[in-house]
Structure 1
Amino acid sequence: MTDELQQKVERAVKLIQSAGADGKTVEVAYSGGKDSDVILELTRMAGIKYQAIYKNTTIDPPGTIKHVKEVGGVIVRPKMTFFEHMTKNGFPNMFQRSCCRVLKEYKVLDRSIQGIRKCESTKRDQVYQEPTECRVYGTGRKKQSVEALYPILDWTDDDVVTFIEERGIKVHPLYYREDGTIDPTRRLGCMCCPLAYYKKRIDYFRRYPRMVKAYCRAAKRYMDTHRDTPTVQKYADVYEWFTREVFFERQSGWQDHKTVTKYTHVDYKEFLEKVFGITLNL
């Protein structure tokens, strides 16, 4: 471990110790990802009273629940599953992703240690400037505040991998390459998350084609119960809606596509079956 990383580790441990100095239990926001494993190990090193809390999104990758149980995490189940939420709200996308609020963004304990790192995205680099902040969940009378701590905010991917290797931490199976080394660029996250770049999202659906069926089933139930909404009236069927949401990053691209195919019948069901190698019978 380099001197620079050792200093980062020491700062992180001190920050965590300050959170638990009063003896109260502190939440470790544990997603099952590599950064969660790092903050969990740092919290253990800090010697404070804690609970590793896993907020089950119901669409996390295979092996996540098992990994959470192996580290002793407490599994908190949501009031509704992701697909139940879709049935009521339709397709989530980058501009309408209330699924995060329902499945992940809520208070458990007064203090929460979270594995957010600035280098993960430009937006995070701009938004997260300090290692602590007051985060507010909910609105109106349901508004609740949490003291959030980000002990690895300034850590790089190399820092994370080095720490994991030197501490002998077992991470989620999805992070390991065939040769057993760790690929820090891989993200755990929700399966087929709408915040992912659309090409990566398409690749995810190809790897897990059963998710295509699940998405379409939930979206069809929404269409059947929300026939008069402007969104539903835009599309001939759920297959066309799925194609728009998954294959087109911008509305302008979809409009161009619709202009080109204006006088041509497009069988979107057949298109999806061909792309994902599945049979769709809803």
Structure 2
Amino acid sequence: MDLEQKAIERIKTASEMSLEYYKQPLICTYSGGKDSDVLLELFKRSGVPFEVQHSHTTADAPQTVWHVRDNFKKLEEGGIKCSINYPRNPDGTRITMWNLIPKKLMPPTRLVRYCCKELKETAGMGRYVATGVRWDESTKRKHTRSEFEKIGASVKTKELFDDSVMLNNDNNSKRRITELCMQKHKMVVNPIVDWKEEDIWNYIDQENICVNKLYQCGYKRVGCIGCPMAGRKGKLKEFYDFPTFKLNYIKAFDRMLEVRKAKNLPTQWESGEEVFLWWIEDKNVAGQREFKVAENGQLMW
């Protein structure tokens, strides 16, 4: 079974379970990046009923916003339901990258990416969703992500299930137990989890899939502007191309410092500009130190 067929089989299996246990179609999550474009194409070819959902992070590049809008317009014209998720606090107020930073008392980092949890992973609760997550994107994902997943209240209660359990094993007891407790949880299928970077681009070229224009501007990855996973060079390019986002981050860091001072929490920074320079790992910043955060928000040096 080739990669395309295997991915479609995963989609079909998840779709059957979504319709049976959730009584609703499978959700195709769509970020506007190349992986989600491939995922969307596979959904179209699978023949299953589905909905498409995009999480509005407030930190996406204009090109990404336009790409999502263009695709949603075409999908809706074809009768496919599309929706944009706007994360909200319990009191109904909107969660944005810019008010999240002061609330968390620290910038998002590689080790503490609270932004993903708050801005991207809240969508689809109580539903069965599909994502474009791939093992090839990081070593950690090989151990923390699987073809099928049951999302619990915490990372410790998350369960992973591979193809041997979920595909064509109707009598498998582990699959049956998983199905019985589905309605209480958010279930996830990752159809292209085993695809490599070259597989993605080969499929895009082969099937002539239209992708985000940022890939034509030298970007290898498309995500939130300022994402810690982009690395120092990646962030420098992003902020050169999109200076408004740099200003937004600096303003958010200024507010973060104000909140820290109001809470009598220590800080080595005097301004949002200083935080920003530290955050992009500028080696020319005098006195730059390693930054750690305790659970109570205390800075440790």
- TM bucket normalised to smaller: 0.7 to 0.9
Among 119, 131, 148, which residue is 2:188 paired with?
A: 148
1:121 aligns with 2:138: yes
> In structure 1, what is the Cα distance between the partners aligned to 2:153 and 2:193?
21
Among 85, 93, 116, which residue is 1:76 paired with?
A: 85
Among 82, 85, 88, which residue is 2:100 paired with?
A: 85
Shift of 1:232: 5.0
1:14 aligns with 2:9: yes
- Alpha-carbon spacing, 1:203–1:229, altered in 2? closer, same or farther (3 Å): farther
1:243 aligns with 2:243: no
Aligned-partner SS, 1:133: strand
Match of 1:66 in 2: 66
Shift of 1:188: 0.6
- Alpha-carbon spacing, 1:21–1:147, altered in 2? closer, same or farther (3 Å): same
Contact 2:59 2:245 survives alignment (8 Å)? no
> In structure 2, what is the Cα distance between the partners aligned to 1:229 and 1:96?
21
* Unaligned residue ranges in structure 1 (runs of 5+): 1-5, 178-182, 257-282
TM-score w.r.t. length of structure 2:
0.71
Shift of 1:151: 1.1
Shift of 1:231: 5.4
Match of 1:222 in 2: 256
**Equivalence map 1:165-244=2 (5 Å):** 165-176=205-216, 186-229=220-263, 233-244=267-278
Shift of 1:28: 0.6
Shift of 1:40: 0.9
* Unaligned residue ranges in structure 2 (runs of 5+): 73-81, 89-94, 156-183, 291-301
- Alpha-carbon spacing, 1:94–1:175, altered in 2? closer, same or farther (3 Å): same
Shift of 1:248: 4.8
Match of 2:298 in 1: none
Aligned-partner SS, 2:230: coil
Among 141, 151, 157, which residue is 1:135 paired with?
A: 151
Identity %: 28
Shift of 1:164: 1.6
TM-score w.r.t. length of structure 1:
0.75
- Residue by residue, what CA displacement relative to the aligned partner does 1:104-125 show, whole Å, maximum 9, x if unpaired? 1114152111111111222223
- Alpha-carbon spacing, 1:229–1:10, altered in 2? closer, same or farther (3 Å): same
Aligned-partner SS, 2:110: coil
CA RMSD of aligned residues (A): 2.7
Aligned-partner SS, 1:148: strand
Higher relative contact order (CA 8 A, sep 6+): 2
Shift of 1:157: 1.9
Match of 1:265 in 2: none
Contact 1:105 1:137 survives alignment (8 Å)? no
